[in-house]
Structure 1
Amino acid sequence: MSEFHLTEDQQDCLQELINIAMGQASDQLARYLDTFVYLKVPSIESIDAKDLLQTLSQQKNTMAVVSQGFFGYEGIRGEALLSYQEEDSGRIGDLLGYEPDELSQDEQLIDISSILTTTFLNVFARQIDNQMSYNAPKLLPSVQNCLSEHLQEMTFNWDLALKININYQVTDYSFNCNMILLIPETAIINIKKVLDRILAEF
């Protein structure tokens, strides 16, 4: 087995940690946004770098993608990509309680992305006794070559990554977006050590 691939116990442990983090993050977001936030159980899979762009391009009607890097202790790091459909982008101002023309649509996308990313990852980090720091979020055009250039310019080099896909739904506003967490192979090896430590305690 490759150093990268998770054992069944490690996969179950990671899934449980993410589920717990999702539940707590959903509650925090609901309180912050004053509305119900539903997070679907995420899919976790390994993905080749060359397949990632194709995966993103298959998401229909994607208007924009916001990228935000994150890093913690013990070599844990990655990139969060949040994708939005055109019909959802106009609802962000209402969701965040902004006045008309208070912020541009691009600024609204960056704001909501930062809230969604940091809320979930901060809760997840606490589950593994870690703490996350973040790069400034960056709005990317959904044009395929722009995404390709960004993936090549990420702060880490990777050929294989763990892709965790999380879907957010805010029912009162008919708003939803997808968050993909890309964790490079070197960071996964470090996460496996953390998972083994957690498993050894049970």
Structure 2
Amino acid sequence: MRYLVSREISVNPHEATRSREKLAEIVDELGPVIDEYPSWHPLVSNHEKFDRLLARLPGGHCGYSGLDHNVYFANGFITCPYRDPQKVIDAVNQLPPHRAARITAEQLDVQFYQPSALPVLIRCEWGVDLEDGTIPLAIAMPLFLEKEVPLWGAWNSCAENWDSMRPYILGSPHGRRSSLFVNQESGQAMKKVWEALIASGMFGPSYE
């Protein structure tokens, strides 16, 4: 709230109220603020180039353009460029179709970050009901495997253990086996699968 509804915006009580109300709507729709996405999340993995990059934040390497002053939510993010918001929207519209989610962008009619900024909202629409606010295992697991298994024999020289891979598999912030993206049950299942992959030796010797 402090970042997006800044003191410069708060000088105008009417605009500040509109911005706070809109932000509350966005949080209710897209979930809590997060630090980084899992590397398999459609917002960072739905691009044609750099398909082996384990990106965790949207940027040019993920197919976006014109992003500036971003705030990330579990199922979308706000970016606040000072000019050409259509550049952001066009880049999102050019992303490849995703099998599990639909990514959209729209310019907002409220002030965020600074009065002269032109905020754009990018949504990740899953098309399923997120009952507890987290991504169902039936969706998270195949996306996770689709991202990680192709790395076999590519450029990995050793196998990363669960602790080192948790930010990439669970996102941030995260606990031992859960995060704002996957619940405890899903996280435990993903941990078991990752440990089984490591035990197979497919990624090479374990990294200590």
Higher relative contact order structure (alpha carbons within 8 Å, sequence separation ≥ 6)? 1
TM-score, length basis structure 1: 0.26
Please tell me whether Structure 1 or Structure 2 has the larger radius of gyration of its CA atoms: 2
TM-score, length basis structure 2: 0.26
Instruction: Report which of the two has the higher share of strand.
Output: 1
Instruction: Report which of the two has the higher share of helix.
Output: 1
